Amino acid sequence: MNLSMKVINEYLIVSLNGELDHHTSEEIRKKVDQKYFNQNLKNIILDLRGLKFMDSSGIGLVMGRYKNCKEKNGDVAIVSTNPYINRMLNMSGLPKIINIYSSMEEAIID
């Protein structure tokens, strides 16, 4: 699993590459939260386009970041194009509370 993060204004942009499961999500959660709170950021964009696999641990990861952002009056957006990942996201009902975009540009503009 490869994680890269960058900050644009109050947005933390998190790009994930590889397989997101219980094992990998714990480390990602720690690293993302550390940066988010240390730099006092507000919003998170999760770029899942590089994921080759995601199980329900990924849903837990998204929901946890959503909770953190809401507490700081921020928001979470997801960028995802992989049909398998989208199927998992849809099954969880997350699209009811989190917007899913197919490109980074759309996510930032919105």
Partner 1 sequence: MLEKNYMKLEFISKSSNESFARVVVAAFASQLDPTIEELSDIKTAVSEAVTNAIIHGYEYGEGMVTVEATLEKDKIEIVVEDMGRGIEDVDKAMEPFYTSKPDLERSGMGFTVMETFMDELKVESKVGQGTKITMIKKFKSLSDRE
Cα distance between residue 81 and residue 73, in whole Å: 27
By CB under 8 A, name the one of 64, 72, 99, 104 that touches partner 1.
Answer: 64
CA 99/CA 82 separation, integer angstroms: 15
Burial level of 50, CB count in 10 A (0-12/13-18/19+)?
middle
Among 7, 8, 91, 97, contact with partner 1 (rule: CB under 8 A): 91
Nearer of residues 10 and 27 to partner 1, judged by Cβ: 27
> Smaller CB distance to partner 1: residue 6 or 31?
31
Question: Among 6-14, 35-43, 87-95, 98-106, which window interacts with partner 1 (CB under 8 A)?
Answer: 87-95
Instruction: Tell me the pairing of strands 2-8 and 11-20.
Output: antiparallel
How many helices (DSSP H) and strands (DSSP E) are in the chain? 4, 5
Q: 87: exposed, middle or buried (C-beta count within 10 Å: 0-12, 13-18, 19+)?
A: exposed
88 near partner 1, rule: CB under 8 A: yes
Residue 89 touching partner 1 (CB under 8 A)? no
Asked whether position 55 contacts partner 1 by CB under 8 A, the answer is yes
Residues that bind partner 1 (CB under 8 A): 19, 21-23, 25-26, 29, 53, 55-57, 59-61, 63-64, 84, 88, 91-92
